[in-house]
Chain A
């Protein structure tokens, strides 16, 4: 649904504003790597702009630290509607290793609403391209929550025990 909305909202090129909210520079280098001729994202009409007022898409990298929190909020408010926010890296999703740190908000979600998450530490350039392609509706989503169970309940051992107790009750009834 969101990809359809993105197609309608952004029929032409996406202009990307890159917002570093206290990242370690790993994700920033990968974002720059995406713009190189090897991973040419200008195929999709994606262009890096330097001002949030020109951008359609915000790429946040880094867990939002306390000094950058008002700046990130201001940059988000300065972007014209409609806008999409991409969280690049694990820091933006849950805060990575600094999720409980005193100086960190614990993810970009607490500062601005994030539409798409690209996990990785840092994510590969391909993963970032995959996230953009997912937003544009070019590829299908591959991740899904996994639930593993070692054993199905109820376990027959306990059922046997219950049956055993019931049998004892029957014996007691016979005694009376």
Chain B
């Protein structure tokens, strides 16, 4: 009796066939709602910094080096792939791609940096206008921001006008070490 049951088991095991993926040699498609590496479109971006304000891991950093140029840095090292940056972007400049093959030996490989040209408002001298009905208005950080891009440190300080003293101060900022 035990032999027939074993044969039955073998037959049951043979019916599904080979289920193993041939993955590294053949590509495997992702499910439709998969969130992979976010990618920036620098033609659409207006540099509002909403993604930087909403990122839960503080992985998008903003530095205004002068009135016109704003540097934005995305460090994939501590990205959660939550997609909130793509959600909050008013211009749909951020898309979550299907790229998940990001394994690397150098963690600089998963960074994206963007240099934006910010047009200055002739009236107020600021980079952009604050509207009361705008989604940007919900941001907690307004004005000029000086995160330390080298040390990947988020600095929760911003000023109304470009402050070179604060810029120099935050350039030397180091993350507190344990």
Contacts and interface: CB of A to CB of B under 8 A. Distances in A.
Q: Do A and B bind each other?
A: yes
Interface string A134-161: 1000110111111111110001000000
Interface in A65-101: 66, 90, 93-97, 99-100
B51 to A, nearest CB: 14
Interface residues of A, number: 51
21 contacts: A37-B19, A38-B21, A90-B57, A90-B76, A94-B78, A107-B77, A116-B103, A120-B81, A120-B102, A121-B82, A126-B23, A126-B28, A126-B101, A129-B23, A129-B24, A143-B101, A146-B111, A146-B112, A150-B114, A150-B115, A150-B117
Contact of B80 (A2, A97, A115, A116): A97
Contacts of A106: 175, 178
Interface string A115-136: 1111111011011111101100
Contacts, number: 152
Contact of A148 (B24, B76, B114, B175): B114
A95 B78 contact: yes
A127 B45 contact: no
Given A38-B19, A94-B78, 5 more contacts: A2-B105, A126-B23, A129-B24, A145-B108, A149-B115
Nearest to A115: B105
Interface of A: 2, 37-40, 43, 66, 90, 93-97, 99-100, 102, 104-107, 115-121, 123-124, 126-131, 133-134, 138-139, 141-151, 155
B24 A138 contact: yes
A37 B21 CA distance: 9
